[in-house]
């Protein structure tokens, strides 16, 4: 598949079928992640695949119980969300935070070697390793789209981050940027409408 087609196909999915991702396809997708540039040239990234359902249940134990759409609407009101597509995205997403991680065919916990305290960086450059892992994650999402596989990320709250590190025995010096859930979309899975933007309006020549 052409890379531009894969990028256009990539979409956030929170409802998955029970179809498994073949091991060779999963390895191919993750290998695409390792083709991303890294800040120190060493690609000190690791992937923990959490496939055991009991382990998944333990892992997501710190996520707040799923909210209803009515409760999600109240959150949207509280946050002042008025753009229809943005508001709809949150209302659809909030109730599915735990379920999507349990149902995904492949649950990946990416880990990266952090330079210093991630939450208290000394300079912008201190976040280079954090920026690099997201290049890796985007490669994975685009490669997955090329295979007809889609996914979603969830950035953990601090209590979740500590819990993840403990449950998965992540060594000191490594951090977790997100949960990454991948799978084949359910028949009723919705592709959320993105806010339309114009590339012409986004380009500034020589200065803003």
Tokens of 177: 């940027």
Please tell me the CATH superfamily of domain 3-202, with its number.
Answer: NADH Oxidase (3.40.109.10)
In a 3-state reduction of DSSP, which class is residue 14? coil
- Residues in CB range of 34: below 8 A, 6 or more apart: 43, 45, 136
Q: What are phi and psi of 115, to 5 degrees?
A: -100, 100
Report pLDDT for 196: 87
Mean pLDDT, each 10-residue run in order, the chain (208 residues) = 85 93 97 95 95 93 79 89 88 89 96 88 90 96 95 92 94 95 92 86 96
- Is 144 in contact with 151 (CB distance < 8 Å)? yes
- Is 112 in contact with 159 (CB distance < 8 Å)? no
């Amino acid at each position: 598949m052409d890379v531009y087609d894969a990028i256009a196909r990539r979409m956030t999915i929170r409802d998955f079928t029970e179809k498994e991702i073949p091991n060779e396809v999963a390895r191919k997708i993750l290998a695409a992640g390792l083709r991303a540039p890294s800040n120190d040239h060493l690609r000190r990234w690791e992937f923990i695949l959490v496939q055991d359902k009991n382990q998944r249940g333990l892992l997501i134990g710190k996520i707040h119980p799923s909210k209803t759409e009515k409760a999600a609407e109240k959150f949207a009101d509280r946050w002042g969300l008025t753009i229809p597509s943005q508001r709809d995205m949150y209302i659809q997403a909030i109730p599915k935070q735990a379920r999507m991680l349990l149902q995904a065919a492949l649950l990946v916990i990416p880990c990266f070697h952090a330079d210093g305290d991630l939450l208290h960086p000394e300079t912008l450059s201190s976040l280079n390793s954090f920026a690099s892992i997201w290049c890796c994650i985007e490669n994975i999402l685009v490669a997955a789209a090329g295979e007809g596989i889609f996914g979603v990320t969830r950035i953990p709250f601090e209590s979740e981050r500590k819990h993840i590190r403990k449950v998965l025995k992540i060594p000191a010096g490594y951090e977790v940027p997100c949960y990454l859930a991948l799978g084949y979309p359910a028949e009723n899975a919705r592709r959320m409408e993105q806010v339309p933007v114009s590339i012409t309006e986004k380009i500034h020549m020589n200065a803003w």
